Amino acid sequence: MTLAALIKLPTQLAPPVNSPMRDRDFTWGVATASYQIEGATDADGRLPSIWDTYCATPGKVLNGDSGDVACDHYHRWELDVNLIADLGVDAYRLSIAWPRVIGLDGQLNTKGVDFYKRLLDRLGDKGVQRYATLYHWDLPQHLEDRGGWLNRDTAYRFADYADKISRALQGRVTAWSTLNEPWCSAYLGYTNGRHAPGRTHPRYAAQALHHLLLGHGLAQPALKANDPGAQRSIVVNIGRGVPEDPGSAADRDAAHLFEVQQNAWVLDALLDGRYPDELFRLWPGTEPLVLEGDMDLISQPLDHLGINYYYRNTLRSDGAHGFTSVNRPGAEYTQMGWEVAPDAFTELLVGFHQRYANLPPIVITENGMASADVVVNGEIKDTQRISYLQRHFAAVHNAMAAGVDVRGYFVWSLLDNFEWAYGYERRFGLVHVDYETQVRTLKHSAQGLQAFLRERAGR
């Protein structure tokens, strides 16, 4: 029997032995987003966001759930900061709610800003680095009423918000990220309609994405000038596509086009200053209106690139250039129905390293999985999550061994929370939340990560 078993230490959730991911300068963190945890949607002058409107529209969100209360983090933030510090992570990734901090007149809402000042200061006091995302999908509804991300003016509004909030929070943030997963905002929000604002037009996604990325570019000079000590980045989602039948040229083409629209669409724009021509083979006639100078703004250098990875897609061609995702017999899936595929994570990271000459250092800003976790005798045995994370840590280790420069890893998520169109039914947290009582309980995965981080810190 091992010593750990004898004294009942939790099994460590850790990267491989001798991995550089164990070094002190590798940043370990946990992530959340404002609308998913804060609740208090009408407190202290917060304005309605597109997610409030979307949730109030019958049939859009599972069980009619909304972020009205969520994890009540707006009121319980001190408890949550203690949890973060107790986990022993180096860093916390949060997002700032635009509708909380900017009023209808375009000026700062002091009460909303003060919430983030208190939160960031307390995290700093506890020695936790702060990674702040400016836009994790909660667009003020009044801007959507003027066209949202289809309106070029929204990019300028975003840059103005970035300017004002980075001035107000100067010195409190380790790293600023402009956008979280602009692909999701654009495609799910404006073409497929499964996310707020729920618009569905085949041409909209490309124009919305262009304005999102333009907003990112326009915000850069202000972030640099206002908070020169902080890093600047953007967070993108990435997806691996593989053919259902590797012997079929049509399926291989489908898998290739899937990655063009998931990855190259955003990364070519950010890193090479152009949209991939092949995108318009997939979606003819959707070219966005791009003005002179836009692509230079969009492709300014970044201090790091945030990457969110969850799963792999198996693609079946429809015979033309379209495709559908299909399940792979015998594969492992999560509560989301997402295939567990750590090798795909390595392949993507190594692929970007080979493709983009100017790829910045990478921070994994999200990775994790949902499971139907239940509390039994005060314990949550989330064994699939432990196994999932352990394999994905190893996948990143393998990418690093192949030469990819990865600087940090944030697990999604600190807490079970509002999982967008799936409401509260899907649990991604390292920490379980009882939504009736708001009691937080560490799952076994949280205890495993804590055990690793404590040992690394020599405690």
Q: Is 366 in the active site?
A: yes
Segments in 169-202 forming alpha helices (H):
182-183, 189-190
As measured in angstroms, the least distance from the Cβ of 416 to ligand FCB is 11
Give the tokens for residue 456: 């690394």
Query: Which of 450, 443, 448, 447 minimizes the C-alpha distance to 373?
Result: 443
Find where tokens 């609308």 sit: 35
Q: Residue 240, Cα to own-chain centre: how many angstroms? A: 16
Which helix (DSSP H) or strand (DSSP E) does residue 185 occupy? Answer: none
Of the residues 144, 244, 366, 419, only one is catalytic, namely 366
Q: Considering the complex, state which of residue 60 and residue 164 has its C-beta at the smaller distance from ligand FCB.
A: 60
Total residues belonging to the chain: 459
Q: Fill in the amino acid letter for 16.
A: P
Q: Considering the complex, state which of residue 349 and residue 411 has its C-beta at the smaller distance from ligand FCB.
A: 411
Q: Is 237 in the site for ligand FCB (CB under 6 A)?
A: yes
Q: Considering the complex, state which of residue 299 and residue 334 has its C-beta at the smaller distance from ligand FCB.
A: 334
Given 38, 181, 294, 382, the residue binding ligand FCB (CB under 6 A)? 181
Q: Is 278 in the active site?
A: no
As measured in angstroms, the least distance from the Cβ of 289 to ligand FCB is 27
- Residue 354: phi and psi, rounded to 5, are -80, -35
- The DSSP annotation for 198-213 comes to ----TTHHHHHHHHHH
Give the tokens for residue 10: 């939790």
Q: Considering the complex, state which of residue 77 and residue 310 has its C-beta at the smaller distance from ligand FCB.
A: 310
- Looking at 16-24, 112-120, 176-184, 201-209, which segment touches ligand FCB (CB under 6 A)? 176-184
Site string for ligand FCB, 31-70 (x = CB under 6 A): --x--x----------------------------------
The interaxial angle of helices 444-456 and 73-87, nearest 10 deg, is: 50
Given 91, 184, 264, 431, the residue binding ligand FCB (CB under 6 A)? 184
Distance between CA 136 and CA 58 in Å, rounded?
A: 23
Distance between CA 141 and CA 54 in Å, rounded?
A: 10
Q: Considering the complex, state which of residue 314 and residue 417 has its C-beta at the smaller distance from ligand FCB.
A: 417
Give the tokens for residue 425: 């039914």
Distance between CA 210 and CA 187 in Å, rounded?
A: 11
As measured in angstroms, the least distance from the Cβ of 204 to ligand FCB is 19
Given 385, 428, 440, 445, the residue binding ligand FCB (CB under 6 A)? 428
Q: Is 308 in the site for ligand FCB (CB under 6 A)?
A: yes
Of the residues 144, 181, 244, 259, only one is catalytic, namely 181
The interaxial angle of helices 152-168 and 204-226, nearest 10 deg, is: 30
- Looking at 21-29, 59-67, 177-185, 289-297, which segment touches ligand FCB (CB under 6 A)? 177-185
**Sign of the C-alpha dihedral computed for residues 20, 22, 24 and 30 taken in this order:** positive
Report which DSSP code applies to 341: -
Q: Is 420 in the site for ligand FCB (CB under 6 A)?
A: yes
- Tell me the site size for ligand FCB, rule CB under 6 A: 12
- Looking at 210-218, 279-287, 395-403, 412-420, which segment touches ligand FCB (CB under 6 A)? 412-420
Q: Considering the complex, state which of residue 267 and residue 295 has its C-beta at the smaller distance from ligand FCB.
A: 267
Enumerate the active-site residues: 181, 366
User: Site residues (CB under 6 A) for ligand FCB?
Assistant: 33, 36, 180-181, 184, 237, 308, 366, 412, 419-420, 428
